[in-house]
Amino acid sequence: MTASHLEDTVFKALAAPVRRAILDALKKGPKTTGALCDSFRSLDRCTVMQHLKVLEGADLVIFRREGRERWNHLNPLPIKAIHDRWIGAYAADAVNLLARMKSELEGPLS
């Protein structure tokens, strides 16, 4: 998978509020699929599994099996890559713009 395709997949996965909520739940620590289903009672198990599949496809969730249980873990690296590529650069530009505006508004002190 190319970097551009992975980026698109991550953005698409993050577009759904329920998937972001699943990631928030996993941010606190790994959870079994059953525990995630209990956390999202408004969704049936099949729907939760479909959302997990999308998150796995974007490499945002990694799972491992322990006996009959499936443990889901957050993989924050794709989000960090998005931050580094998009948010970090824009934030730096915004800070520089604010510094220039402050300097221009305050003008020379003499």
- Whether the per-residue pLDDT at 109 is higher than 70: the answer is no
- Whether the per-residue pLDDT at 43 is higher than 80: the answer is yes
- Whether the per-residue pLDDT at 14 is higher than 60: the answer is yes
Confidence of residue 98 (pLDDT cuts 50, 70, 90): confident
Mean pLDDT across 83-88? 83
Phi, psi of 62, deg, nearest 5: -120, 135
pLDDT at 5: 81
Q: Give residues with Cβ within 8 angstroms of 64, minimum separation 6.
A: 70, 71, 73
User: What is the bridge-based pairing of β-strands 61-66 and 31-32?
Assistant: unpaired
- Whether the per-residue pLDDT at 35 is higher than 70: the answer is yes
For residues 18 and 66, the answer to whether their CB atoms sit within 8 Å is no
| Pair of tokens at residue 108 | 């020379």
- Whether the per-residue pLDDT at 110 is higher than 60: the answer is no
- Whether the per-residue pLDDT at 21 is higher than 90: the answer is yes
pLDDT at 103: 87
Q: Give residues with Cβ within 8 angstroms of 55, minimum separation 6.
A: 13, 19, 22, 23, 61
Mean pLDDT across 13-20? 97
